[in-house]
Each structure stands twice: as C-alpha cells, then as structure tokens.
Amino acid sequence: MQTIDQLISQAPIFAGLAPAHIALIAGCARNEHVDAGTLLLREGDPAERFFLIRRGQVALELHAPQRGALVIETLHAGDVVGWSWLFAPYRWQLDGRATHTSELVSFDGSCLRGKCEADHELGYQLMRQFAARLVETLQATRLQLLDVYGHARVPE
Amino acid sequence: MTASRVIERRDFDLLFAALIRRGYTIVGPTIRDRAIVYDEVRCTDDLPAGWTDEQDGGHYRLKRRDDEALFGYAVGPHSWKRYQLPAHVTLWRARVDERGGLTEVSEPSAEQTSYAFLGARSCELHAMGILDRVLGETSTSAPAPFVIAVQCAQAGGTCFCVSMGTGPVADRGFDLALTEVLVDGKHHFLAEVGSERGAEVLADVPGRDATTADDDIAAGIHARTASQMGRELDTTDIKGLLYRNYEHPRWDEVAERCLTCGNCTMVCPTCFCTTVEDVTDLEGEHVERHQSWDSCFTVDYSHLHGGAVRGSTRSRYRQWMTHKLATWWDQFGTSGCVGCGRCITWCPVGIDLTEEAQAIRDSERVSRADD
Amino acid sequence: MPASRNDAVEQARMMPEPFELVSKRRDTSDTWTLELASHSGRPLHFSPGQFTMLSVAGCGEVPISISGDPDNPDRLVHTVRAAGLATQAICAAERGVTMGVRGPFGRAWPLEEAQGRDMVFAAGGIGLPPLRPAIVAALSRRERYRRLVLLYGGRTPEQLLYADELAAWSERGVEVMVTVDSAGPEWPGQVGVVTRLVPRAGLCAERTVAMCCGPEVMMRFTVVALREAGVCANRLFASVERNMQCGIARCGHCQLGPTLVCRDGPVYRWTDLERWLAIREL
C-alpha cells in the first residue's frame, strides 16, 4: 500500500521534485475513487480540486449546442487533469469526466497555490513542470487541428 | 581499328548511297523553321551547307558562313534522344468490355527502322550513353543506330563540353567519325573508323588513306575547338556543393527569372522523364496508354493527392539543376550534363546553369573567407 | 519472405496484368477494401510494404499499397481511398470487373531485422493498410518477435479501419492502442493525436524496431516522439509517398533527392530519409 507521497513522486509531472516539496504537495492531496461517468470538472466552475490519474481514463469535453459533448482529449494513467487552478481566473475551461472507473489523487488547488506563494522555489518547480506539460499539449493540439487524416487541400 | 581515310566533299553523296543501300534511314541536320534540326536526310543537298548557328543565353540565330561547310554549326534544339526515347509512345492497347473491364491487352509492334545518325557530336554521344544507362540497355528492341559522328570544328556560343569531359573530340561510341577540313581551297573529311560495320560502309566510298599531315590538321582543328568554349563549369565537388546548398538564396533569385516553361528539359539530350495518359475512344470501347515526355517544371509533375510537393518555381528549378548536376551521380554514376549548352540557348530568359552553379560556389568562398 | 526489388527495365513491366475484382467491402465513407484475383490463376507474391500500380480501364493508374496477407497471396488485397479520378473509378468498380495490375514494386518492411525484438507499428489514418501485411506476417510467426505493439490514430471513430481485426489482433498477441482526433462521448477509447500514444506504450527503446506509416506530418512527429522515447534512428522505418507513375525507376516522377521512392522506398530507414525529408519542397 503506497503512501500519498510515494504516489505523487512517481507521477511524471512531479518527477525530480525534492522530498520536502513532495511532502508540501502531499499535504494538499488525498486519494479518490470515482465511478465511470463522474463529472470531475465543469466548465465555468471555480477550479478547486485537480487530479492525478493513477488508473482509469478521464475525457476532457466541450459541450456545444446541437452537437452535445465533444471529446477534446482523453487523459490516462500518469496524466494530470486540470491546470486552471494555477492560472487566474482559476476557473475550469472544459468539462472533465471519468469515462471509466478511476483511481485518482486529488489536490486542493487553492491550498497548493497558497504554499507556492509562501515557497517560491516550490512555485517555480511546479510552474516549470506544468509549463512543460502545456507545451506538449499545445503541440499535440496543433497536430489535431491540422486534421492530417482529412482530405489534403491545395496550399495557397 | 582500321586506319583513317580521307574522303572528298564531292564524294559525300556516295556515303549517303552506301547507307541507303544497306537499308538505313538517315537522320541528320537540316534547316527547318530557321533552325538546324534533326530529320530524315537523303542527300548532301539536304544538309545545312554554308550555315552556322550563333548561340548565347536565350539566343539562337542561323548565319551564313563564308564557306560551304556541311557541319559548320554546333547543336540545335533537337537531340538524338527523340530516337532513343521517342516523345510519344503507345505502350499498349486494350479493349474495354461491356462492364468497363480491361481485356485483350496488346503491345504495339516494335519499331524496326534502322537508323543512321549523321552528324552526332561528342557531347551527344555521351548523352546517348547516359540515356542508355538511365533507360537500361533493353530500353528498345529496335536495331542499334549506325552512328556517324562529326568532330566539332568550332565550339558553340554556349558549349562547355570541355568542362564536362565530354568533348570536343569523340573517341568512342561511333561507327565513323568525320572531321571536316576546309583549307587552301580543299574540302574533305578525315574519316576515323570506330567499328567493323563502319569500316565496311566506308569501303564503299572512294578516298585515300590519311597521312600524318591529315592527322595534324585534324588535331589542330580539335584543339582550336577546345579553346573556344562559350561557357565553363567548375565541376570540383559539384555534387557536394549542391547538396550543401539546398536552401541557398540563389534559388530564390533564379526563381524570379524562371518561367517554368520547361524548354530546357525538352532540348536537354539527357532529360528522360515521361508521363503516361490513358486515352479512350468516344465509345469507350478501346483504351490506349500513351507515354510522352514530361518536365519536372510542371506543377503536376510532383502532384500528390490534393497538391504539388514542389509548388514553387524555386523548388522546381532547384530540382532540375540539382538532379542534372548532383543527384544524377548518386542515381546513375555520372553527371547528367554533357555541356551541350542547349538549356542556356533555348531558355527564353537566358538562365545559365553554369552561372547559377558559379554563383553558389562563389558565395561559399566568400563565407569561408569571412571565417 | 522474398526481398523483391526492381532490377532491369523490361517492357513487360509496363503492361498491366488482368485481375478480376472478386469482392469488395466498404470500410468508411470514402474507403473500400478490394480483393482481386489474377486471370492467370497465379498468385501475386509480395513482401509487406510493397505496392502495385492499379487501374480501371481508361481511368488512369495509381500506386496502391498491398494490404493482404503475404502468406496467402491468392487474393490481391487493396484498401483504397477514393480521393481522385483513378481511385474513384477503382472504388466504384463492380464485382467481376477486370482491372489492370502491375507490380509488386518497392522495398519492404524489415521484418527480418525485427526478429528477436519488439516491433512497433505506428499508423495514422490510411497508413494502416500498408502496415497490415507486416502485422499479419508477424502474427503468423509470433514466436520470432517479442512485443508487437500497434499505435493507431484516426480522424474519428467512424473512420477507423479494420475495427474487427483490431480486436482479433489484440487477442492474438498484438498490444493495440487506438486514438482518434475527435469523438463524441459514446466513444470509450482514447482521444488525442497518435503521438500521445508513444509514451503510454512504455517502450523498451534498445530492443524496439518501429515502422511508421501515415500522412507525412503525422510520421514526422511520430518519429520525434519515438526518438524521444529512445528508439534509434536506424531502427526506425517510414513509408513515404511521392508521385509514382511507372514503378520501375524510369519516369523520374518519384524522386526524393537522389532516391527514387518506387525503388529505394516506399519503406525507408529513417537514417537514409531524414536528411531529404527535412528539405522543404524537395
């Protein structure tokens, strides 16, 4: 049975953080088990808790009129769900729904933000890790936008 | 090899006769549409006696000579590739059945004409060899043409065979090679024999054995031609030079001038690209696949579902020139260029690949000097 | 498996062989899988990764990868996307129609080199059909390979190919990971670009041979992801497309730098390809 500290230190997004920082983060964290279909994030809501997926799958969705819920991306073991807790105005920009029964570690976003304000070294490390994840996601999203499997169009 | 002979101008028709008697269709230089082109010729009168060509970038004019030389010109817009790789070939014919299916596929009967090429220049012989290599020795079932080479007595305005190691003297690849001599009121031809059938044909033409004096005169002509080259191409590590410079700004510069008309590829004696088209009759009951010359300068050439890989002029000019001078080496073990200068002459805007290569080479020297 | 290569130029190779369309199956809104049989009764032996030049009378000829089982070549199988005039005619042809086939041409996937190693197949969209023969051949010789992993990305769930087979392959020992670029909520699988599958596959880089096929942009970034995961460039292979017309290295159209895709490809080792693919509009 692994401790929260151990679970957190194994996640790619927290890789390389000092044990003291891991302990600080763990202080804002707890284990959660959710059933398939559970809505974890709702677009527009305050970004209070964010999640690390240990097992399972979470879909990021956007709801559009007449089209229903569109899945933007699915996240899997080792991925973090949600970063709007770190950036003003601290509101979710997408829906996040567990598509499968999932084991998660959930984090209190405002608690962790407070600790980052108090310890800028912790803040810098977290910013660095989340920024790297943002860059990866941005690049992957750009590829998705290109719609490379669709019919090619003549370049202008 | 049999010793050389000298045949007189007045006996030149007997050379024609000897070839015709043996069933050859003679193709040689003749004037048409104000240019010296290759077409069927039947006698000496068909040849461009007393004419020469004035060539430069984007410039070709026929001018009268002050003598009656039969071969006193360089090369025209035609090359012998039109016989090695005909511009239009029907690859196969078939019937289309009532369901739209392919049936009764047949090959058209092979070309059986025996050609004699009269007036092939050294650069052209090299070009024929290069094309043979590209197309494979089995490229055609037609009988091998009888080749009468002519050693150039003067270089053309855009020639650079010396740079390419392809001339001006032909030393192989011919059945007979003629050097035309007009001096002291004399007009005759030194004829070198290059094959048994060449010797056999020559034996039907009256003449005398060549002397050392004849050889010396010919050598003098050859040397003079070599010194007159209209262009030069520094081929030192040219493959490496172009492989290093795919993103050189010079390509943008030449792209501003190039019209992508494709003239260069049409007149080049080694450009070999072809395309195919399926053609049906109006009832849709018969189909033929036609192969014809293509040019890498067309947008369609590099078409790939929805667009062209080489959409810009820049990329297409770069493709042609780097293929000709660089990648040809990796593909076929030789340069693709024989220094005939046709691409320079027939480019409507006078783009000169020797100048383009030199510009890239010079810029490398400059940047190295800066280091 | 024979490593077929184009050798001498033969006039016969320009003549299409008559093949009857024996059966046809619609895969997606614009993709069909066709099974052809030679009028001569002779099977068309091929190596995975090779292609034929396929035509319907009078409608032009196109290069199509062979997507059948190389151990069962009695039927020539092609998965074709109706994108232009020739492919539309091919996809519209009815059973019983005689088509023209020339080939096979090109270099094959390096199945021998992958023996004793993990083999990763990274496919995007219409890039799965050219990999199918390699997957099927590997499954027939399962003991020669260690892990077999398929990373497959498609546009939407409706546009995924060979859905039934993916499940069967999964049961027979291929780790199948599928993702789509976009989906509705009824899709239980992954959503996101195929490159995201690479880190999730947990590859052991030193013993991985990877084979990629799909749109060039997708391949480029999938290769980046695979290299980031530690796979060596000389154990990475990609299938490239250019305007192949003759298939026998004579017409010049498929040139990619000094290489000819019909003869030196379509399967290339990444170390031989990288330099040329990096030059825009080459």
Kindly state the average pLDDT of the residues B104-125.
92
Q: Encode pLDDT of B145-155 as tens digits.
A: 999 999 999 99
Residue C2, pLDDT > 60, answer no
Residues of B in contact with C242 (CB under 8 A): 302, 304, 309
Q: Encode pLDDT of C244-264 as tens digits.
A: 999 999 999 999 999 999 999
Mean pLDDT of chain B: 94
Contact C41, C58 (CB under 8 A): no
Round to whole Å and give the CA distance between C250 and B275: 10
Query: Which chains would you list as touching A if contact means 3+ CB atom pairs under 8 Å?
Result: B, C
- Tell me the pTM: 0.90
Kindly state the average pLDDT of the residues C20-41.
97
Residues of C in contact with B96 (CB under 8 A): 57-58
Whether A44 is in a domain gets the answer yes
Contact B116, B201 (CB under 8 A): no
Compute the nearest-CA separation of B307 from chain A (Å): 5
Surface of C (131-160) touching A: CB under 8 A: 153-155, 159
Q: Does C129 touch chain A (CB under 8 A)?
A: no
Whether A134 is in a domain gets the answer yes
Q: Which residues contact B36 (CB under 8 A, 6 or more apart)?
A: B29, B30, B48, B51, B53, B62, B73, B76
CA-based nearest residue to C106, from C213, C204, C27: C213
Mean pLDDT of chain C: 93
Contact B308, C281 (CB under 8 A): no
Least confident of B232-236, B359-363, C8-12: C8-12
Compute the nearest-CA separation of B312 from chain A (Å): 11
* C-beta atoms of A71 and C188 within 8 A: no
Q: How many CB pairs under 8 A join A and B?
A: 12
Q: Which domain holds residue A57?
A: 4-145
Residues of A in contact with B311 (CB under 8 A): 155
- Residue A28 to residues A41, A113, A114, B62, C61: CA-CA distances in angstroms? 18, 10, 10, 92, 65
What is the predicted pLDDT for the residue at A156? 35
Residues of A in contact with C212 (CB under 8 A): none
Q: Encode pLDDT of C207-224 as tens digits.
A: 999 999 999 999 999 999
Provide the domain count of chain A: 1
Residues of A in contact with B305 (CB under 8 A): 151-152
* C-beta atoms of A74 and C191 within 8 A: yes
* C-beta atoms of B327 and C255 within 8 A: yes
Measure CA C88 to chain center: 19
Question: Does the ipTM exceed 0.85?
Answer: yes
Nearest residue of chain A to residue C29 (CA atoms): A150
Round to whole Å and give the CA distance between A119 and C267: 53
* Positive or negative torsion for Cα B33, B35, B41, B45: positive
SS3 state of residue C261: helix
Contact C105, C53 (CB under 8 A): yes
What is the predicted pLDDT for the residue at B371? 58
Percent of chain C with pLDDT over 70: 96
CATH annotation of C118-239: 3.40.50.80
* C-beta atoms of C281 and B310 within 8 A: yes
Enumerate the domain spans of chain C.
11-105, 118-239
Contact B318, B327 (CB under 8 A): no
pLDDT tier at C9 (50, 70, 90 boundaries)? very low
CATH number at A128 reads: 2.60.120.10
CATH annotation of C11-105: 2.40.30.10
Query: Which chains would you list as touching C if contact means 3+ CB atom pairs under 8 Å?
Result: A, B
Percent of chain B with pLDDT over 70: 97
